[in-house]
Structure 1
């Protein structure tokens, strides 16, 4: 039997939870998030093991990027939410003297969170938590490749509000489509650009707002005044953390030509020293890839690069596994797939640039615009270059670090999506702002109300001239016209007025 889309059981339960949440004080919701934070901290080894089982990432990657990142965000959120979500005073113009202006941040209702397989715990939690803090119910649709079966339900079990507000719906893309069709109040999607476009196309006719955090092709720009040892270490980690399966991984390394050869030599030595293994106890640098299809994409891009004349140092797949050895690619040209598409694997192309303008031009020559990094001892130059990059975030003399600060917003531009998560901007994105203007109850008739008369028209002209004029004389003209208008507004229309 086919049921109406609006009758989807998950949406019915979520809407009931959202209605109930409207009676939950903010502090009670934040107290539950604090308990959640404690549970994650106390169960971190178990959670890491379960993340590794689903993703095949290295243990250290799972601990630092998934557990530590979530705890850091929850710690910030519990402290920041009262100020960010509380009633906000807004300036009231002189023409509205005596009135008060306020902004209220109210919950949306039901937020559908669709998460990817690369950071299945971190991305889910940093969407669930702000949505719940803002008073929303949440439906989580994890990737079918990394379902983390039962984990989220276990972590919120016994928390009166959060256990009711969070619903986990497992399934593939068809289940995501049915949830979208049931009209949630907002969709937060993290994943590929292609899937994001399909979600947007489905949601648009329903007028359901969508937040999209999509693919990246992040550039790292290295000038010739850097500390080479530190910068190369940063490049290796930025390219290969989580086996390169990060939307903000370094996928294009631009090095000033005067130090290019030395940087390449250091990177080759660094790649040879990396430990690639899965199921480790914390001593592997790179774990395995999460899916076979992503292994195929990486291998296809490297084969295309070789066929077009590139030199590949490293690379290759350990037979019978999803372990990919990290690869350094030189002799890169713009027509290669690894320069046109997101790689999402342990591959680092290295290209030279001449000067500041050349570096900016090459970095901006991409349909993606998620984040980037600029490396230089000259901070003014680094800031200048950062300002010229068409991306949503820039780390200066570090890599992938803006997302490490929960107070900063995260999101991109172009084919990397739009909207922001994290920070005050991301938290308020889980709300609907309501403008409120408060006046006192009295018998006074407003000057701009009916009746309109020639006398009022003349006085409004004088009031505008005074209000937007300059100097004390203008202010006096405004006050004089305003008093006359107030007085005239209290009188009935005169036949000769």
Structure 2
């Protein structure tokens, strides 16, 4: 850790050499990353199995395939994003040209979480490379197998002075946050996000924070209930609920609650079979501490479906609970696990009021066939992003920026938004020397009169 200042300085020296800024360089590095991901696919899949018991299907669709698609999209549009943007000049700037240049920050620190440890480490890196930055990667120590694969892969494909990996625990992260980075990109919990933002503030380092929160799913009585059940449970129990945009709790209209729950029971059996404890397609929890925290929530309210658990394997079956109130511990923090509390409502306006009383969520999902109700939810509630009649799918589109609002995060990425997250918009005026306006100077006769005519 005593060498971290030297490491960061080496990155800065390389950045100031100008080598990272050309289109050809960026394109080559993105292709190198794409090829490495493909080459390391078997090792990544095995590492995700070792750390989180992820199936090959889930590992590819939510981590590997996601990254390959992001790189393909970035390569397709990169030259367009890099070109200076010409904008209009006001009458006060007659004879000039106005341009916006996308300038890389320099050296970015990218801190990844453990829930999607491969994808959430490398997805921001795609943006950093595309924008022309150097980067230091900090994988999660809670997923050591994935961390080792990332370290091995990055050290093999990139010069250490360009992209480096620093592995370690909390002490390492603390020391990294003391370094003079040009930008910090953090994905993780709200409490740790506050620590990152505080550390960055001491050096006025710009930050992108991708956090979380209690993201609601709301099912009104006119929803397609069978489809809603499948899509909510898919979104909730992917990665055993360890997803920052998973539905954290469910509001369902009392008129359709019973039918929806029946459809959910059928869907869970279809997804994970008779015994999810032994399912090969159901992920496990990341640590004993996380398992114990979630197990404690099972005593809140009544378990309707699931609730079985096995400590040795760190697994809790997909669980649906009722008779829950906002005073229960399970509703006091983001669950981040395979437990779905169900609350009833009869008046959508009261649901809106209740959600407004909570911190702004990272995601929100509303199920209804009414366009009017969908518009009402969209305009009445503040949240990072979400779906109407689906879950999670907004994060998959490279055309949509992904990020939080308020306590659920600041800044966004994916697609062009990733390029912009690692760039500073530098404004440039190219002024003519063929003529000059004398009224701009304090010595001009009637200068103020002319200025008022133009600017008034």
Is the TM value for this pair above 0.5? yes
Give TM-score, length-normalised by structure 2: 0.93
CA contact (8 A) 2:365 2:389 kept: yes
Hey, what's the Cα distance between the residues in 2 that align with 1:437 and 1:320? 64
How far apart in 1 are the matches of 2:358 and 2:281? Answer: 29
Any gaps of 5 or more consecutive residues in structure 1?
A: 466-497
Tell me, yes or no, if structure 1 residue 25 matches structure 2 residue 22.
yes
TM-score between the two structures when normalised by the length of structure 1: 0.85
Identify which of structures 1 and 2 has the higher relative contact order when contacts are C-alpha pairs closer than 8 Å and 6+ apart.
Answer: 2
* Aligned residue in 2 for 1:372: 364
Instruction: List 4+ stretches of structure 1 deviating above 4 A.
Output: 21-24, 156-160, 275-278
Equivalent residue number for residue 377 of structure 2: 385
Equivalent runs, 1:256-335 vs 2, <5 Å: 256-273=253-270, 274-275=272-273, 284-303=280-299, 305-306=300-301, 310-335=302-327
Cα distance 1:447–1:48, how it changes in 2: closer, same or farther (>3 A)? same
Match of 1:77 in 2: 74
Find the aligned partners of 1:459 and 1:416 in 2 and give their Cα distance: 49
Secondary structure in 2 aligned to 1:102? strand
8 A contact 2:210–2:409 mirrored in 1: yes
Instruction: Answer whether contact 2:154 2:164 (CA < 8 A) is retained.
Output: no
Task: Report which of the two structures shows the higher radius of gyration computed on alpha carbons.
Answer: 1
Change (3 A) 1:235 1:460: closer
Which ranges in structure 2 are unaligned for 5 or more consecutive residues? none
Q: Distance in 2 between matches of 1:409 and 1:339?
A: 28
Q: How far, CA to CA, are the matches of 2:353 and 2:288 in structure 1?
A: 35
Correspondent of 1:177 among 169, 174, 177: 174
What is the rounded CA distance, in whole Å, between the counterparts of 1:16 and 1:55 in structure 2?
Answer: 38
Question: Is structure 2 residue 9 aligned with structure 1 residue 12?
Answer: yes
Q: CA deviation at 1:272?
A: 4.7
1:152 equivalent among 150, 153, 158 = 150
Counterpart of 2:423 (choices 423, 431, 456) is 431
Residues paired across the two proteins, number: 453
1:38-437 correspondence runs (5 A): 38-147=35-144, 148-156=146-154, 159=157, 164-273=161-270, 274-275=272-273, 284-303=280-299, 305-306=300-301, 310-437=302-429
CA-to-aligned-CA distance 1:447-482 (integer Å, 9 cap, x gap): 2123144x22233333345xxxxxxxxxxxxxxxxx
Q: Quote the offset at 1:164 in angstroms.
A: 4.3
Q: Within 2, Cα distance between the matches of 1:464 and 1:213?
A: 42
Instruction: Kindly indicate whether the alpha-carbon contact (under 8 Å) linking 2:128 and 2:419 is maintained by their aligned counterparts in 1.
Output: yes
Query: What is the aligned partner in structure 2 of residue 492 from structure 1?
Result: none
CA offset at residue 32 of structure 1? 2.5
Aligned equivalent of 2:450, options 459, 469, 488: 459
